[in-house]
Amino acid sequence: MVENKPWLTALAHLTLIVGVAIVVFPVWIAFVASTRTGSELITGVVPLTPGPHLIENYSRVLGEGLSTGGMPPIGGMMFNSLVMALVIAGGKIAISLLSAFAIVYFRFPLRLVAFWMIFLTLMLPVEVRIVPTFQVIADLGMLNSYTGLTVPLIASATATFLFRQVFMTIPDELAEAARVDGAGPMKFFRDILIPLSRTNMAALFVILFIYGWNQYLWPLLVTTDAGYYTVVMGIQRMVQAGDDEPIWEMIMATTILAMLPPVIVVLLMQKLFVKGLVETEK
């Protein structure tokens, strides 16, 4: 596969550039829109270069919010999204680590049944079970709360399954050596299993953080109090605010800001993330 022909290199670059352009173009348009005024945007001709209103638009989104649309400043929504994404990612990792540990290392009655029950929930994403889940959360009085936003999304068959596979690649002798060395089950878990699955945890964290951050339908259902809005559903509310024309420059500024945290997480954890996805050596 390693060939050194100039035109092949050029072709490869061209393909990649076209691909990148296709992916990045909408983001660029959103950025351009967030630096213009509303009147410039509704003329029908979409400008392709940034305008002069960048600071003005962003400070308004961050500071005052949109009084006409009943929108609080975006800072609070970003905070809610952050709490939601972090709690979901952290909770999912913690719970699936423990359940995978139980399934792989302990022999208890109905162990296989438990495993298959977890596995079956893979087929039941939030959207499928949304009505009964909403009922339960409503009955428990958890609407408009961080608990209501996060708890129903925490259980994760995918992550449990992933950690199960990771643990199964760890040789049995390691567990036996730890037993001889006087490490009890939880000590083995903490001192050996967790450090060995660190890269997998990082990879999973990135994926789950983005999953949690991008949640749309569930926050839309369980929050009616503006204090608990998340930024992704907030964008949608801004589009539909009242009878007025949507204030596109504000919406786009919010969109750009909403994209930043996932981007930061990916950039910061990129190295670990890739390692966790490709590493096979234990």
Partner 1 sequence: MAKVELQQVRKVYPGGLEAVKGVSLAVPDGAFCVLVGPSGCGKSTLLRMVAGLEMITEGEIRIGDLRVNEREPAERDIAMVFQNYALYPHMSVYDNMAYGLRNRGTPRAEVDRRVREVAKILEIADYLDRKPRALSGGQRQRVAMGRAIVRQPKAFLFDEPLSNLDAKLRVSMRVEIRKLQRDFATTSLYVTHDQLEAMTLADMLVVMNAGQVEQIGPPLDVYQKPATTFVAAFIGAPPMNLLALRPAEAASLLAGAPLPIPAEGAILGVRPEHMVLNPAGTGPAPGLRLEIGVVAAELVGSESFVYGRTDRGAEIIVRVPGHDVPAPGARAVATAAREHLHLFSHDGSHRLVE
For 143, the token pair is: 């609407």
The one-character DSSP state at 73 is: P
Q: Specify the residue, 9 or 169, whose C-beta has the smaller distance to partner 1.
A: 169
Please state the closest distance from residue 207 (CB atom) to partner 1, in A.
23
Please state the closest distance from residue 60 (CB atom) to partner 1, in A.
49
Q: Specify the residue, 149 or 166, whose C-beta has the smaller distance to partner 1.
A: 166
Check binding of 82 to partner 1 (CB under 8 A).
no
Please answer whether residues 208 and 93 qualify as being in contact, where contact means their C-beta atoms are separated by less than 8 angstroms. yes
Please state the closest distance from residue 224 (CB atom) to partner 1, in A.
47
Q: Which x/- pattern, by CB under 8 A, does the window 133-172 give for partner 1?
A: --------------------------------------x-
Please state the closest distance from residue 170 (CB atom) to partner 1, in A.
9
Q: Specify the residue, 64 or 279, whose C-beta has the smaller distance to partner 1.
A: 279
Q: Which residues pair with 66 in a beta bridge?
A: 71
Please answer whether residues 212 and 84 qualify as being in contact, where contact means their C-beta atoms are separated by less than 8 angstroms. yes
* # of chain residues touching partner 1 (CB under 8 A): 19
Please state the closest distance from residue 272 (CB atom) to partner 1, in A.
14
Q: Specify the residue, 151 or 272, whose C-beta has the smaller distance to partner 1.
A: 272
Q: Specify the residue, 19 or 184, whose C-beta has the smaller distance to partner 1.
A: 184
Amino acid type, 256: I
- Quick check: helix, strand or coil at residue 167? helix
Q: Residue 212: exposed, middle, or buried by beta-carbon count in 10 A (0-12, 13-18, 19+)?
A: buried
The CA distance from 193 to 97, in Å, is: 9
CA 94 to chain centre: 16
Please state the closest distance from residue 249 (CB atom) to partner 1, in A.
50
Amino acid type, 265: V
Please state the closest distance from residue 213 (CB atom) to partner 1, in A.
30
Q: Specify the residue, 111 or 179, whose C-beta has the smaller distance to partner 1.
A: 179
Please state the closest distance from residue 198 (CB atom) to partner 1, in A.
8
The CA distance from 200 to 279, in Å, is: 9
Residues with Cβ within 8 Å of 83's Cβ and at least 6 positions away in sequence, in order, are 146, 149, 150
Residues with Cβ within 8 Å of 272's Cβ and at least 6 positions away in sequence, in order, are 198, 199, 202, 203
Q: Specify the residue, 44 or 195, whose C-beta has the smaller distance to partner 1.
A: 195
Sign of the Cα pseudo-torsion (34, 36, 38, 43, in order): negative
Q: Specify the residue, 271 or 282, whose C-beta has the smaller distance to partner 1.
A: 282
CA 64 to chain centre: 27
The CA distance from 16 to 61, in Å, is: 35
Q: Which of residues 168-227 bind partner 1 (CB under 8 A)?
A: 171, 173-174, 176-183, 187, 191-192, 195-196, 198
Contacts to partner 1 by CB under 8 A: 171, 173-174, 176-183, 187, 191-192, 195-196, 198, 281-282
